Amino acid sequence: MTNLANKLRRPSAEPLRIFVVVLVLAFTFERVIMLLPAALATGPRLPLIDAFGDLFMLTLMLAPSLWFLIVRPLQRLSASRGQLLAQLLDATERERGRLARELHNELWGI
């Protein structure tokens, strides 16, 4: 139990690592997206269409990364916390039952 308590008290480097990975991915994808239309463009370019195209491609590229780096771990964490809560409630109910039986037996001299 002390190992779990130590893990809960100790700050994790994981959020910082995820932040750095997302930042590097965002800048890398943005750089690719900025160079790609310039290399493929043959005619006049409209800034508004370029901006929306840039936004669409960046979202399309970052969404899977963010899903696997942030959403999935949060889902696993939520499921784990739910299991721990169920175990805690189960242990509490067992202890209440044990105390109730013990008090009953003491009162009736069993």
Per-residue confidence of the chain (110 residues) as pLDDT tens digits? Answer: 456 566 556 666 778 888 888 889 888 888 888 787 767 767 777 777 778 888 888 888 889 988 988 889 889 988 989 999 999 999 999 999 999 999 998 888 76
Q: Cα(36)–Cα(34) distance, rounded to whole angstroms?
A: 6
pLDDT confidence of residue 87: 92
Single pTM value for the model: 0.58
Q: Cα(54)–Cα(33) distance, rounded to whole angstroms?
A: 6
Q: Cα(103)–Cα(106) distance, rounded to whole angstroms?
A: 5
Q: Cα(4)–Cα(15) distance, rounded to whole angstroms?
A: 19
